[in-house]
């Protein structure tokens, strides 16, 4: 932060709470499960917990909120961000929204285990909503208890910050705090529930409004509340578009589509699979939101999904995320149609999605290969053939692209063994590669050499360019599980060390090579390292 920047104390946080000031509230105040009509939120209170303990916090998010590191280690911070204490200006509430889940309309969903504390305006005039996940029941909890466990909470805390440092649009995480109480969870819904340590994550974002926030009111024919919410969203989060009107509604939908495209391209670039891309898990700001059964591609497999619930249909598999994003945008278009009553402009934006996504995806793939631009005549087949090779020879996606920068593209006379040598660490069974296998891979590598040489980029610049988009460190599933194992045994140092590594995902960090290793064999089928459920 600048030398003239003052860090406020927690007591000086400037709560604005525009969301609840300008949008309609639930008239009922009892915290019981119910259908909430003609309201964007319900007032609730976080549940008190017996013995909170700070596991970790993000110093970058604290700075974003003008909170000092000293305050982050105070009892006031601990109690405020676990839900035991309300700071001046906090007015807790849970949002009402609906959604399509796995392609089917699910009706009212809402914040079943998330409670918004309020909106803070920082020194730069930026609005940030503070939200506790796992802080107790709300009217939207349905059959749940509103709580969360350390296992899933740690995954969300780490991944939120890992994604930010990777340059992927995301909600953030300020803190991870255990509650000192046990929570019952059936991790794989197989009739074997267990007691797990409870935890609360403080999530941070300019807005937590979702596609489903608009769907719920449209589905009920409540166009008055629908219009209030859309006008508020444009005025608050998209003021550059102008005063709300039919034309601005259309511009807004185009902007949401553009941000969604950019988001999915980033996911594909770093090998991230969201795992549960329901419309209630899609942010209107184009942020990665709701880290549930997510996963990172280890061996490159476009058909892989980390979600056990989706294991048979694979609706939310890695290679299908763009199509799902477009489908979800279609549901958002349907939701706002009553305010526009013009199908063609919305249809044009949806139809343009595939073209715009493909162009940005191709540019991203060119950057991953260190090419100055995408040339369809040569690069489409180059990428398609690589797509096949990466699957045929079980290949770690992250390591492959990172090591590809070490290939000497100028020396066209290398033997197959010398040419492939920098990439061997990316193969899960490199010793099993036959001479014929290596020849097949090297045939592609020689085509790549020739294509890279067309750009006339010097070797060092090419490597720098590639290393700037191809991370060395991602939150591999097995590493996240190791962090969970350590935290459950009271070892919080592992979490802090891992968080520090993830702050610099594109740097070499030779002292942290163990965090860049490909998935070990023991993690191939272990729960938490390969597949996850929506249980938290």
User: How is 119-136 classified by DSSP, letter by letter?
Assistant: EEE-TTS-EEEEEEESB-
How far apart (Å, rounded) are the C-alpha atoms in residues 77 and 129? 16
Residue 199 three-state SS: strand
Q: Write down the pLDDT at residue 534.
A: 67
pLDDT, tens digit, for every residue of 386-426? 999 999 999 999 999 999 999 999 999 999 999 999 999 99
| Interval 517-525 mean pLDDT | 92
Mean per-residue pLDDT, 230-242: 98
Percent residues over pLDDT 90 in the chain: 93
- pLDDT of 5 over the 50 cut: no
Closest alpha carbon to 415 in 432, 439, 399, 392: 439
What residues have CB less than 8 Å from 126, skipping those under 6 apart? 64, 206
Quickly state the pLDDT bin for 479 (edges 50, 70, 90): very high
What is the torsional sign of CA 61, 65, 66, 70?
Answer: negative
For the cut 90, the answer to whether the pLDDT of residue 430 exceeds it is yes
Dihedral through CA 247, CA 253, CA 256, CA 262, nearest 10? Answer: -100
**307 phi/psi in degrees, rounded to 5:** -90, 115
Average pLDDT over the chain reads 95
pLDDT of residue 164: 98
pLDDT on residue 285: 98
Whether pLDDT at 437 is above 80: yes
Closest CA to 299 of 508, 506, 524, 516: 524
Taking the CA atoms of the chain, what radius of gyration do you get in angstroms? 24
pLDDT at 189: 66
Q: What pLDDT was estimated at residue 185?
A: 86
Dmax over CA atoms of the chain, in Å, equals 76
Q: What confidence tens digit (pLDDT) does each residue in 151-167 have?
A: 999 999 999 999 999 99
How far apart are alpha carbons 328 and 263 in whole angstroms? 14
Cβ-proximal residues to 536 (8 Å cutoff; 6+ apart), any chain: 113, 134, 148, 149, 151, 152, 153, 185, 292
How large a percentage of the chain has pLDDT more than 70?
Answer: 97
DSSP 356-424: HHHHHHHHHHHHHTT-SS--HHHHHHHHHHHHHHHHHTTBBHHHHHHHHTTS-SS-TT--HHHHHGGGG
Residues present in the chain in total = 536
Arithmetic mean of pLDDT, 270-275: 97
Question: Which residues belong to the active site?
Answer: 280
Compute the average pLDDT of residues 367-391.
Answer: 97
Cβ contacts of 198 within 8 Å, gap of 6 or more: 49, 134, 147, 148, 149, 150, 178, 179, 180, 181, 182, 183
pLDDT tens-digit map of 311-338: 999 999 999 999 999 999 999 999 999 9
From 415, 417, 446, select the one nearest 434 (Cα to Cα).
417
Q: Domain coordinates of the chain in residue numbers?
A: 10-207, 213-367, 371-456
Q: What is the pLDDT of residue 251?
A: 98
User: Which pLDDT band, with edges at 50, 70 and 90, does 272 fall under?
Assistant: very high
Residue pair 370/382 in contact by the 8 Å Cβ criterion: no
Give phi and psi for 199, each to the nearest 5: -155, 160
Beta strand ranges found along 22-113 (DSSP E): 41-43, 53-57, 93-95, 98-101, 104-108
Strand, coil or helix: 258: helix
Is residue 4 over pLDDT 50?
Answer: no
Task: Compute the average pLDDT of residues 518-522.
Answer: 93
At 14-71, the pLDDT tens digits run: 999 999 999 999 999 999 999 999 999 999 999 999 999 999 999 999 999 999 999 9
Q: Are 494 and 482 in contact (CB under 8 A)?
A: yes
Q: Would you say residue 1 has pLDDT above 80?
A: no
Over 60: is that where the pLDDT of 445 sits? yes
Sheet holding 53-57, edge to edge: 41-43, 93-95, 114-121, 127-133, 194-205, 172-185, 53-57
What is the Cα–Cα distance from 208 to 38, expressed in whole angstroms?
19
Strand partners, 170: 288
Helix (H, G, I), strand (E, B) or coil at 449: helix
Separation of alpha carbons 474 and 493, rounded Å? 19
pLDDT tops 70 at residue 114: yes
For the residues 235-243, what does the mean pLDDT come to? 98
Distance from C-alpha of 448 to C-alpha of 467, rounded to nearest angstrom:
17
CA atoms within 13 A on the CB side of 168: 30
pLDDT of residue 528: 81
Q: For position 8, what pLDDT does the model report?
A: 60
pLDDT of residue 96: 98
Question: What integer pLDDT is reported at residue 519 of this predicted model?
Answer: 94
Terminal alpha carbon distance of the chain: 36
Q: What is the pLDDT of residue 535?
A: 58
Q: How confident is the model at residue 529 (pLDDT cuts 50, 70, 90)?
A: confident
């Amino acid at each position: 932060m600048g030398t003239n920047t003052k860090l406020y104390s927690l007591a000086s946080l400037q709560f604005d709470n525009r969301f609840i000031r300008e949008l309609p509230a639930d008239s009922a105040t009892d915290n019981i499960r119910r259908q909430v009509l003609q309201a964007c939120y319900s007032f609730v209170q976080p549940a008190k917990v017996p013995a909170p303990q700070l596991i970790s916090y993000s110093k970058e998010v604290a700075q974003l909120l003008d909170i000092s590191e000293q305050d982050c280690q105070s009892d006031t911070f601990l109690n405020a961000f676990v839900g035991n204490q309300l700071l001046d200006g906090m007015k807790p509430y849970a949002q009402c929204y609906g959604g399509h889940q796995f392609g089917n309309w699910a009706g009212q969903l809402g914040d079943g285990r998330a409670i918004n504390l309020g909106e803070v305006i920082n020194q730069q005039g930026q609005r940030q909503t503070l939200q506790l996940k796992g802080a107790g029941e709300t009217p939207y909890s349905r059959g749940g208890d509103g709580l969360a466990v350390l296992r899933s909470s740690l995954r969300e805390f780490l991944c939120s910050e890992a994604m930010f440092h990777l340059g992927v649009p995301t909600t953030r995480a300020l803190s991870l705090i255990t509650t000192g109480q046990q929570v019952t969870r059936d991790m794989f819904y197989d009739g074997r529930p267990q007691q797990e340590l409870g935890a609360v994550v403080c999530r941070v974002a300019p807005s937590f409004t979702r596609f489903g926030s608009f769907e719920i009111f449209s589905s009920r024919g409540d166009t008055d509340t629908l219009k209030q919410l859309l006008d508020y969203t444009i005025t608050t989060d998209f003021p550059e578009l102008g005063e709300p009107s039919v034309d601005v509604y259309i511009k807004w939908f185009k902007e949401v589509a553009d941000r969604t495209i950019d988001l999915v391209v980033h996911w594909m670039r770093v090998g991230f699979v969201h795992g549960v891309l329901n419309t209630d898990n899609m942010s209107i700001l184009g942020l990665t939101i709701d880290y549930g059964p997510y996963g990172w591609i280890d061996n490159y497999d476009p058909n892989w999904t980390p979600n056990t619930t989706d294991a048979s249909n694979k609706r939310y598999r890695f290679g299908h995320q763009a199509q799902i994003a477009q489908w979800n945008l279609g549901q958002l278009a349907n939701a706002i149609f009553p305010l526009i009553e013009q199908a063609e402009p919305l249809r044009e934006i949806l139809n343009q999605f595939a073209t715009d996504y493909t162009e940005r995806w191709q540019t991203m793939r060119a950057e991953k290969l260190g090419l100055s631009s995408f040339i369809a005549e040569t690069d489409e087949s180059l990428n398609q053939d690589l797509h096949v090779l990466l699957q045929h020879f079980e290949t770690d996606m992250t390591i492959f692209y990172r090591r590809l920068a070490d290939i000497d593209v100028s020396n066209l006379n290398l033997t197959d063994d010398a040419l492939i040598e920098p990439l061997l660490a990316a193969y899960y069974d490199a010793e099993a590669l036959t001479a014929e296998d290596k020849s097949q891979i090297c045939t592609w590598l020689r085509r790549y050499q020739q294509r890279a040489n067309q750009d006339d980029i010097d070797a060092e610049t090419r490597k720098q360019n590639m290393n700037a988009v191809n991370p060395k460190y991602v939150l591999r599933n097995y590493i996240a599980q190791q962090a969970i194992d350590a935290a459950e045994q009271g070892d919080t140092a592992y979490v802090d060390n891992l968080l520090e590594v993830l702050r610099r995902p594109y740097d070499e960090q030779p002292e942290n090579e163990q965090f860049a290793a490909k998935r070990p064999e023991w993690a191939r089928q272990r729960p938490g390292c390969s597949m996850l459920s929506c249980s938290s």
